[in-house]
Amino acid sequence: MALIRKRKCPECGGEMEAKLINLHYKRQNVEMEVEVIGIPANVCTRCFYRIIPGKVAKYIDALVDPIFESESRIIEKILPSPSIDIQFPFISRDVYADQ
């Protein structure tokens, strides 16, 4: 079962295309930033509206949330907050999409 199905854009009705995207995560009151690279998503070819499958979004939240949590618990700031990259291996489109 493919993670990403062929569908129309809910915003503009345009064609959507399965591709790997990057997302930048920030949290209020936390200086640190996390970049997640290689997320399978449906992207509108017209307005660039993006849909990440629910299961994928949940998985990424489960990875990213504890990182922000531990950073927010730091009381004594010894170094400036780092930026963190989470990189998924490249997966070919026929593995995650049925289009």
Residue numbers of the site for Zn ion (CB under 5 A)? 9, 11-12, 14, 44, 46-47, 49
Residue with Cβ nearer Zn ion (34 or 97): 97
Residue with Cβ nearer Zn ion (17 or 33): 17
Helices (H), 1-99: 54-72, 93-96
Task: Tell me the C-alpha distance between 10 and 43, whole Å.
Answer: 11
Distance of closest approach, residue 17 Cβ to Zn ion, in angstroms: 11
Task: Tell me the C-alpha distance between 26 and 62, whole Å.
Answer: 15
Residue with Cβ nearer Zn ion (12 or 91): 12
